[in-house]
Amino acid sequence: MKQFNTLQRAIFGAGVLVSAVWAVANLRGIAGFVDAGSGGLGAVSVGISGDLVVYLLPVIINLLLIPWARKHGPTAVRWQWAHLLTTLAFLGLAVVSVVMMAGSLNAGGPASNTSALIMFTLAAVFFPVQVFFAAGFVALAVRREPPGE
């Protein structure tokens, strides 16, 4: 079994640390919003063109890193599948939240607040999760074979 070298561990460790700190900072902001007790959302503005590009960019970057990392064995392939499934789970939760929100907007029920909270949470952790996977792809790609292996 191939062992990870020090450079790989350092890259992945830095990615994990940055992702965790970033996610916690974002989630604390959401917790402050919830603690403020706004009681609901007055208006939400979502621009499809600009916002969509911003959220697609880290996914595209990871897709560009995959072929580079994939040359380095089955761990990279498993990491690619983990990235794909996680990104699809984010997308699925976002779609479900939008459907829940659209269904409860006229009623003004608690589902709209729950949907908003889910959407804010997804948005808060999406970028840190993508950075986490990017660090993994880079760490896998920098593997250097020792002499004689």
Tens digits of residue pLDDT in 34-84: 665 555 444 444 444 556 677 788 888 888 888 888 777 788 889 999 999
70-105 pLDDT tens trace: 777 788 889 999 999 999 999 999 888 888 777 766
In a domain, 69, yes or no: yes
In a domain, 37, yes or no: no
What is this structure's pTM?
A: 0.75
Can you give the residue range of the structural domain that contains 12? 6-31+52-141
Residue 88: strand, helix, or coil: helix
Average per-residue pLDDT for the chain: 78
CB 113 within 8 A of CB 30: no
In a domain, 124, yes or no: yes
Using the predicted structure, report yes or no on whether residue 138 has a pLDDT greater than 60: yes
Using alpha carbons, list the distances in angstroms from residue 127 to 109, 110, 122, 141. 30, 27, 9, 21
In a domain, 62, yes or no: yes
CB 89 within 8 A of CB 64: no
In a domain, 44, yes or no: no
pLDDT (average), residues 126-132: 93
In a domain, 112, yes or no: yes
Count of domains forming the chain: 1
